[in-house]
Amino acid sequence: SLAAAEATGQRFLQELGAADIEAARSMPVDRILEAVIGSGTLKFAPLVDGDIVRGSNVQLYRAGLFNDTPILLGFNSDDRDSDIPASATSAAFEEQYRSLPPACGPLAKTVVAGYPHGTDAAAAKASKDLKRDAGYGWQSWTWAHLHVRKGKGAVYLYYFDVRSPKWPD
């Protein structure tokens, strides 16, 4: 909702120590970026307002309201690499997905079974891989399939299995 988006913006200004949006605009970009991505969690999302953002991507594709051009999309093997929890254990992985709400569907157990997690090391990898696939892979695949079904433009879907260099701290 607009009210929730405005509340998020106000909390963000407080975290920055900015009195208002004008004060935030005068801050160095590095400070803004650190506040946005420094914690590893995205604090913002598009607000479907019906005017500028008229709906979710899925809603717009289903209604045929998109630019029908060739698209290139995909993801990388190490996307979400920094999301491996420090306490990744086989038992914790199993518990996390065993306790999913029923709304996640009856296939949750089947999905989790596709990510071997019998040892703590395997559970750390399974945790990263499942988050990557859910956070990037599923969206890329879904977008590609919607474009194929609803559009005429070519679709190029990639998966790069290359590790990026670690950035220095």
- Judge whether residue 39 has pLDDT over 70: no
Q: What is the mean pLDDT of residues 151-157?
A: 93
Please write the tens of the pLDDT for every residue from 1-35.
788 888 888 888 888 889 999 999 999 988 888 88
What is the reported pLDDT for 48?
A: 85
Band of pLDDT at residue 79, cut at 50, 70 and 90: confident
In the chain, pLDDT over 90 holds for what percent of residues? Answer: 19
Which are the contacts of 136, defined by CB distance < 8 A and separation ≥ 6? 75, 76, 79, 80
What is the reported pLDDT for 28?
A: 92
In the chain, pLDDT over 70 holds for what percent of residues? Answer: 82
Are 73 and 140 in contact by the 8 Å Cβ rule? The answer is yes
Whole-angstrom Cα distance, residue 107 to residue 16?
Answer: 42
